[in-house]
Amino acid sequence: MSRFTTQLAAGLLLAPALLAASVAQAYEAGDVIVRVGAAVVDPQESSGNVFVGGANTGLEVGVDSNTQVGITGTFMLTDHIGLGVLGATPFSHDIELKGVTRFASIKHLPPTVTLQYFPMAKNSALQPYVGAGLNYTMFFSEDLSSTAEGAGFSDLELDDSFGYALEAGLDYKLTEQVYLNAAVWYVDIETTAEFRTGGLPSKVDVDIDPMVYMASIGYKF
Protein backbone atom coordinates (compact mmCIF):
# COMPACT_ATOMS: atom_id res chain seq x y z
CA MET A 1 0.00 0.00 0.00
CA SER A 2 1.42 3.41 -0.98
CA ARG A 3 2.09 6.15 1.55
CA PHE A 4 -0.65 8.30 -0.03
CA THR A 5 -3.16 5.44 0.18
CA THR A 6 -2.25 4.86 3.82
CA GLN A 7 -2.71 8.58 4.65
CA LEU A 8 -6.02 8.71 2.78
CA ALA A 9 -7.32 5.65 4.60
CA ALA A 10 -6.27 7.12 7.96
CA GLY A 11 -7.96 10.42 7.10
CA LEU A 12 -11.20 8.68 6.18
CA LEU A 13 -11.12 6.76 9.45
CA LEU A 14 -10.47 9.91 11.50
CA ALA A 15 -13.01 12.13 9.71
CA PRO A 16 -16.12 10.88 11.59
CA ALA A 17 -14.35 11.33 14.94
CA LEU A 18 -13.22 14.86 14.05
CA LEU A 19 -16.71 15.77 12.87
CA ALA A 20 -18.25 14.42 16.05
CA ALA A 21 -15.79 16.45 18.14
CA SER A 22 -16.63 19.61 16.20
CA VAL A 23 -20.34 19.14 16.67
CA ALA A 24 -19.94 18.33 20.37
CA GLN A 25 -18.17 21.65 20.94
CA ALA A 26 -20.94 23.72 19.32
CA TYR A 27 -24.33 24.89 20.66
CA GLU A 28 -26.48 21.86 21.37
CA ALA A 29 -29.14 20.63 23.76
CA GLY A 30 -27.97 20.82 27.37
CA ASP A 31 -25.47 23.64 26.88
CA VAL A 32 -25.53 26.58 29.31
CA ILE A 33 -24.28 29.99 28.14
CA VAL A 34 -23.68 32.71 30.74
CA ARG A 35 -22.96 36.31 29.63
CA VAL A 36 -21.80 39.30 31.68
CA GLY A 37 -21.47 42.87 30.42
CA ALA A 38 -22.86 46.41 30.36
CA ALA A 39 -26.65 46.83 30.10
CA VAL A 40 -28.36 50.13 29.32
CA VAL A 41 -32.04 50.72 30.12
CA ASP A 42 -33.32 53.52 27.88
CA PRO A 43 -36.96 54.39 28.74
CA GLN A 44 -39.27 55.29 25.86
CA GLU A 45 -41.80 56.61 28.35
CA SER A 46 -45.30 57.83 27.67
CA SER A 47 -46.65 59.69 30.68
CA GLY A 48 -50.19 60.36 31.66
CA ASN A 49 -51.05 63.61 33.45
CA VAL A 50 -50.42 64.09 37.15
CA PHE A 51 -53.65 64.11 39.17
CA VAL A 52 -53.77 65.84 42.56
CA GLY A 53 -56.86 65.20 44.66
CA GLY A 54 -58.67 64.09 41.48
CA ALA A 55 -57.78 67.29 39.59
CA ASN A 56 -55.76 67.08 36.37
CA THR A 57 -52.69 69.31 36.65
CA GLY A 58 -51.66 68.85 33.01
CA LEU A 59 -48.12 68.01 34.17
CA GLU A 60 -46.24 64.93 32.96
CA VAL A 61 -43.16 63.02 34.15
CA GLY A 62 -40.00 61.81 32.39
CA VAL A 63 -37.56 58.99 33.24
CA ASP A 64 -33.83 59.05 32.40
CA SER A 65 -31.54 56.21 31.22
CA ASN A 66 -29.17 54.15 33.36
CA THR A 67 -26.34 51.64 32.83
CA GLN A 68 -25.60 48.68 35.10
CA VAL A 69 -23.93 45.28 35.06
CA GLY A 70 -26.13 42.90 33.07
CA ILE A 71 -26.17 39.12 33.43
CA THR A 72 -27.92 36.81 30.99
CA GLY A 73 -28.12 33.07 30.72
CA THR A 74 -29.34 30.60 28.11
CA PHE A 75 -30.13 26.94 28.69
CA MET A 76 -30.36 25.08 25.37
CA LEU A 77 -33.48 22.91 25.46
CA THR A 78 -32.73 21.63 21.94
CA ASP A 79 -30.09 22.47 19.33
CA HIS A 80 -32.23 25.45 18.22
CA ILE A 81 -34.43 26.38 21.21
CA GLY A 82 -33.13 27.98 24.38
CA LEU A 83 -34.58 29.33 27.63
CA GLY A 84 -33.16 32.79 28.30
CA VAL A 85 -32.95 34.79 31.53
CA LEU A 86 -32.06 38.50 31.88
CA GLY A 87 -30.89 39.93 35.20
CA ALA A 88 -28.81 42.90 36.36
CA THR A 89 -27.63 44.91 39.30
CA PRO A 90 -30.40 47.38 40.30
CA PHE A 91 -31.06 50.14 37.80
CA SER A 92 -31.43 53.68 39.17
CA HIS A 93 -33.47 56.39 37.42
CA ASP A 94 -34.27 60.02 38.04
CA ILE A 95 -37.90 61.03 37.54
CA GLU A 96 -38.51 64.56 36.32
CA LEU A 97 -41.68 66.57 36.72
CA LYS A 98 -41.43 67.96 33.21
CA GLY A 99 -40.85 71.69 33.06
CA VAL A 100 -40.73 71.95 36.85
CA THR A 101 -37.99 70.03 38.69
CA ARG A 102 -36.36 66.69 39.40
CA PHE A 103 -39.11 64.91 41.24
CA ALA A 104 -37.61 61.68 42.58
CA SER A 105 -35.15 58.84 42.13
CA ILE A 106 -36.14 55.18 42.05
CA LYS A 107 -34.50 51.77 41.63
CA HIS A 108 -35.80 48.68 39.93
CA LEU A 109 -34.91 45.11 39.00
CA PRO A 110 -36.26 43.73 35.71
CA PRO A 111 -35.99 39.90 35.74
CA THR A 112 -37.04 38.65 32.32
CA VAL A 113 -37.54 35.12 30.96
CA THR A 114 -37.74 34.41 27.22
CA LEU A 115 -37.98 31.46 24.88
CA GLN A 116 -35.20 31.87 22.31
CA TYR A 117 -34.81 30.54 18.76
CA PHE A 118 -31.35 29.97 17.25
CA PRO A 119 -31.79 29.42 13.47
CA MET A 120 -28.19 28.59 12.53
CA ALA A 121 -26.59 25.14 12.46
CA LYS A 122 -25.45 24.11 15.91
CA ASN A 123 -21.74 24.19 14.93
CA SER A 124 -21.90 27.71 13.44
CA ALA A 125 -19.50 30.27 14.94
CA LEU A 126 -22.17 32.95 14.44
CA GLN A 127 -25.35 32.38 16.45
CA PRO A 128 -28.08 35.01 15.98
CA TYR A 129 -31.26 34.51 17.96
CA VAL A 130 -34.66 36.01 18.69
CA GLY A 131 -36.86 35.55 21.72
CA ALA A 132 -40.15 36.44 23.37
CA GLY A 133 -41.29 36.11 26.95
CA LEU A 134 -42.33 37.81 30.17
CA ASN A 135 -40.91 40.51 32.42
CA TYR A 136 -41.56 41.31 36.06
CA THR A 137 -40.23 44.70 37.21
CA MET A 138 -39.87 45.40 40.92
CA PHE A 139 -39.60 49.06 42.02
CA PHE A 140 -37.99 50.05 45.31
CA SER A 141 -36.01 52.86 46.99
CA GLU A 142 -38.51 55.49 45.81
CA ASP A 143 -36.97 58.70 47.16
CA LEU A 144 -38.43 62.16 46.57
CA SER A 145 -35.98 64.97 45.82
CA SER A 146 -35.42 67.61 48.47
CA THR A 147 -37.07 70.14 46.16
CA ALA A 148 -40.18 67.95 45.82
CA GLU A 149 -40.36 67.38 49.56
CA GLY A 150 -40.00 71.13 50.15
CA ALA A 151 -42.92 71.69 47.76
CA GLY A 152 -45.18 69.44 49.84
CA PHE A 153 -44.83 66.07 48.06
CA SER A 154 -44.58 62.91 50.20
CA ASP A 155 -45.16 59.13 50.42
CA LEU A 156 -44.07 58.09 46.90
CA GLU A 157 -44.70 54.48 45.86
CA LEU A 158 -44.57 52.80 42.42
CA ASP A 159 -46.58 49.69 41.52
CA ASP A 160 -44.61 46.69 40.27
CA SER A 161 -45.15 45.76 36.63
CA PHE A 162 -45.82 42.52 34.74
CA GLY A 163 -45.60 42.55 30.93
CA TYR A 164 -44.16 41.02 27.78
CA ALA A 165 -40.60 41.23 26.44
CA LEU A 166 -39.08 40.80 22.96
CA GLU A 167 -35.39 40.31 22.25
CA ALA A 168 -32.82 39.84 19.49
CA GLY A 169 -29.18 38.95 19.97
CA LEU A 170 -26.01 37.62 18.43
CA ASP A 171 -23.30 35.36 19.85
CA TYR A 172 -19.93 35.15 18.05
CA LYS A 173 -17.53 32.35 18.98
CA LEU A 174 -14.00 33.43 19.92
CA THR A 175 -12.97 30.02 21.28
CA GLU A 176 -14.87 26.80 21.93
CA GLN A 177 -16.10 28.24 25.25
CA VAL A 178 -15.86 32.04 24.93
CA TYR A 179 -18.29 34.21 22.96
CA LEU A 180 -18.88 37.88 22.21
CA ASN A 181 -22.52 38.93 22.55
CA ALA A 182 -24.69 41.87 21.61
CA ALA A 183 -28.40 41.94 22.46
CA VAL A 184 -31.41 44.24 22.57
CA TRP A 185 -34.78 43.91 24.32
CA TYR A 186 -38.07 45.78 24.22
CA VAL A 187 -39.80 45.49 27.60
CA ASP A 188 -43.41 46.39 28.35
CA ILE A 189 -43.35 48.19 31.73
CA GLU A 190 -46.37 50.08 33.03
CA THR A 191 -46.65 51.55 36.50
CA THR A 192 -48.68 53.96 38.58
CA ALA A 193 -46.79 56.33 40.88
CA GLU A 194 -48.87 57.25 43.92
CA PHE A 195 -47.90 60.03 46.33
CA ARG A 196 -49.38 62.89 48.32
CA THR A 197 -49.31 66.58 47.45
CA GLY A 198 -49.93 68.83 50.43
CA GLY A 199 -51.74 65.90 52.03
CA LEU A 200 -53.93 65.24 48.97
CA PRO A 201 -53.80 61.79 47.28
CA SER A 202 -52.01 62.12 43.92
CA LYS A 203 -50.96 59.81 41.11
CA VAL A 204 -49.57 59.54 37.59
CA ASP A 205 -49.66 56.59 35.17
CA VAL A 206 -46.46 55.96 33.21
CA ASP A 207 -45.67 53.53 30.38
CA ILE A 208 -41.88 53.26 30.72
CA ASP A 209 -41.45 50.68 27.90
CA PRO A 210 -37.63 50.76 27.73
CA MET A 211 -35.23 49.52 25.11
CA VAL A 212 -32.49 47.54 26.83
CA TYR A 213 -29.08 47.29 25.11
CA MET A 214 -26.30 44.96 26.25
CA ALA A 215 -22.75 44.12 25.13
CA SER A 216 -21.11 41.23 26.93
CA ILE A 217 -18.68 38.33 27.07
CA GLY A 218 -20.20 34.87 27.26
CA TYR A 219 -18.93 31.50 28.45
CA LYS A 220 -20.41 28.17 27.41
CA PHE A 221 -20.52 25.39 29.99
Report pLDDT for 136: 97
Give the whole-angstrom CA distance, residue 180 versus residue 183: 10
Report pLDDT for 141: 96
Mean per-residue pLDDT for 38-51? Answer: 95
Residue ranges covered by each domain of the chain: 27-220
Report pLDDT for 52: 95
Report pLDDT for 1: 52
* Per-residue pLDDT tens digits for 6-37: 443 444 444 444 444 444 457 899 999 999 99
pLDDT band at 122 (very low <50, low <70, confident <90, very high): confident
164-195 burial, b for 16+ CB within 10 Å, e for fewer? ebebebebebeeeeebebebebebbbebebeb
Whether residue 187 has pLDDT greater than 80: yes
**Choice among 3-12, 31-40, 134-143 with the minimum mean pLDDT:** 3-12
Report pLDDT for 101: 87
Whether residue 192 has pLDDT greater than 50: yes
Q: What is the CATH number that goes with domain 27-220?
A: 2.40.160.20
Report pLDDT for 24: 46
Mean per-residue pLDDT for 49-74? Answer: 96
Mean per-residue pLDDT for 172-198? Answer: 96
Report pLDDT for 25: 55
pTM: 0.84
* Per-residue pLDDT tens digits for 76-95: 999 999 999 999 999 999 99
Mean per-residue pLDDT for 138-165? Answer: 95
